[in-house]
Copies of this chain bind each other. A is one copy, B any other.
């Protein structure tokens, strides 16, 4: 099936585009009334993820409303540890919880790399179905959590403010932590390659918690495993995103990934000056701008486009997932502003 809109994939390769492509992290989500309706049918969040028809339905919802340039699989970053037998559940307002967290070397040695076509079959079925239903409208992005980020949830057993358990294990038993991360890196590579085989046209690795580490520990316990993923994933471009990772942009870019995701803290022009000759950049509007007036939103889009400047390799996005309380009409203003205001920066095509 021919791809009708290839802006996103072209920008990922720093090739010329007519307008800057745009999509939003968590674009299928609670800010959309139609999503909340579907949620009522799927009993809980995991049922939505595990039922390919429902996952497909919510993946496509934002594309029916907005002229987005990419779709992203509706799923969770914690599917791999769940498939490893840790027993994932979500409590409303409390975030994820594992029934059987990983606490020591014996627990770690018991973990096996899940077969993506067995215990993660539901993800591959969702990818295939979404790809088919998209019918070439826009490309489909697959994703995974980073090994370090998966490890934090697996060791802590859920969300945490202090990361005391996972950091305690890391500081006290670094070799045990490396064993865990090695298993997870293998699992992520197999998982992402299976998503690509099922139809994903790009993949993104979310390193939600790499940013809580010191530079030394980030390079050792998070980035080195993402580098292995970049090397091991075949057949689709890879985007790496470390939340609060602006200190390490050069190192992230040097993994060989195609694009680096940015949060909103650094002006994208500064990031481009540092690494933009090597990779594409994805970002970087503060999601809170969507609470402001349409005029403010357009102004901020203009500021970010100007900061990136002329030329290729920019995928517009929020610097973090869209918030559940955002007005869907403001999202329309945002997406339209990116397309309308970006043409002048792409005179090459």
Tell me the A residues contacting B by CB distance below 8 Å.
162-164, 167-168, 171-172, 211, 213-216, 218, 244, 246-247, 264-267, 270, 286-289, 291-293, 296, 300, 323, 325
B288 close to A172 (CB less than 8 A): no
On whether the beta carbons of A171 and B296 are closer than 8 Å, the reply is yes
**Beta-carbon contact of A211 and B171 below 8 Å:** no
A216 touches B267 (CB 8 A): yes
Kindly list chain B residues whose C-beta atoms are within 8 Å of the C-beta of A218.
265
A-B contact pairs, 24 of them (CB 8 A): A162-B287, A162-B288, A162-B325, A163-B288, A164-B288, A167-B286, A167-B288, A167-B289, A168-B291, A171-B289, A171-B291, A171-B296, A172-B293, A172-B296, A214-B264, A214-B266, A214-B267, A214-B286, A215-B266, A215-B267, A215-B270, A218-B265, A246-B247, A247-B247
- Residues from chain B with a CB closer than 8 A to the CB of A288 are 162-164, 167-168, 171
A267 CB contacts on chain B under 8 angstroms = 214-216
Contact A164-B291, Cβ < 8 Å, known A214-B286, A246-B247, A286-B214 = yes
Question: Quick one: copies of this chain in the complex?
Answer: 2
Alpha-carbon distance A86/B104, docked complex (angstroms) = 47
Question: In the complex, what distance in Å separates the CA atom of A265 from the CA atom of B300?
Answer: 29
Residues of B within 8 A of A247 (CB): 246-247, 265-266
The 8 Å CB contact of A292, one of B162, B168, B246, is: B168
Docked CA distance A247–B248 (Å): 11
Closest to A299 in B: B171
In the bound complex, residues from chain B placing their C-beta under 8 Å from that of A244 are 244, 265
Chain B residues near A289 (CB-CB < 8 A):
167, 171
Set B171, B265, B291: member contacting A215, Cβ < 8 A: B265
Residues of B within 8 A of A286 (CB): 167, 214
Report how far A291 CA is from B211 CA in the complex, Å.
19
Residues of B within 8 A of A325 (CB): 162, 164
Distance between Cα atoms of A211 and B266 in the complex (Å)? 11
| Contact status B215-A164, CB under 8 Å | no
Q: How far is the CA of A287 from the CA of B213 in the complex (A)?
A: 11
Residues of B within 8 A of A265 (CB): 211, 213-215, 218, 244, 247
B-chain residues with CB within 8 Å of residue A171 when the two chains form the complex: 288-289, 291-293, 296, 300
| Complex Cα spacing A167 to B288, Å | 6
Task: A211 to B246: give the CA distance in the assembly, Å.
Answer: 12
Chain B residues with CB under 8 Å of A163's CB are 288
Given contacts A167-B286, A215-B265, A215-B270, 7 further A-B contacts (CB under 8 A): A162-B323, A164-B288, A167-B288, A171-B300, A214-B267, A244-B244, A246-B247
Most buried by B among A163, A164, A287: A164
Q: Which of A244, A266, A286, A287 has the most CB of B within 10 A?
A: A286
Interface centre among A288, A292, A296, A325 (most CB of B within 10 A): A288
Instruction: Report the Cα distance A214→B293, complex, angstroms.
Output: 18
Distance, CA A264 to CA B291, complexed state (A): 32
CB distance from A282 to the nearest CB of B (A): 16
Which residues of the partner chain B approach A300 to less than 8 Å between Cβ atoms? Answer: 171
B-side contacts of A270, CB under 8 Å: 215
Measured CB to CB, the closest approach of chain B to A107, in angstroms, equals 18
Q: Which residue of B lies closest to A212 (CB)?
A: B265
Complex Cα–Cα for A266 and B286 (A): 23
